[in-house]
A = this chain, B = another copy of it.
Amino acid sequence: MQKGIIVGTLVSTRKQEALVGSKFMEVQLIKNNQPTKEFIIAVDSVGAGIGETVLLTMGSSARMALQNHNAPVDAVIVGIVD
């Protein structure tokens, strides 16, 4: 997984049916407690908000965090870091 900070949201009106209702967050990855130049758009699954440090799961494993295991999603926020 990766650690990151939520820096924004993303709105997409025209999207895949299976993504309707998903909350998209732009997350800046953090390595060794330093923000990086790497950004990921992730679906939130834990009620996280802008400015919070979160845990991201990517790839096929990200789908396992959603009710629909066949959603076309490759990055999900799975935890909020204390």
Give A residues with C-beta under 8 Å from B: 1-3, 7, 10-16, 18-19, 24, 26, 28, 31-32, 37-42, 45-47, 55, 57-65, 69-76, 78-82
Contact = CB atoms under 8 A, between A and B. Distances in A.
Contacts of A24: 1, 55
Contacts of A16: 45-46, 65, 78-79
A41 B55 CA distance: 8
Contacts of A14: 46-47, 79-80
A10 B40 CA distance: 20
Contacts of A13: 80, 82
A13 to B, nearest CB: 5
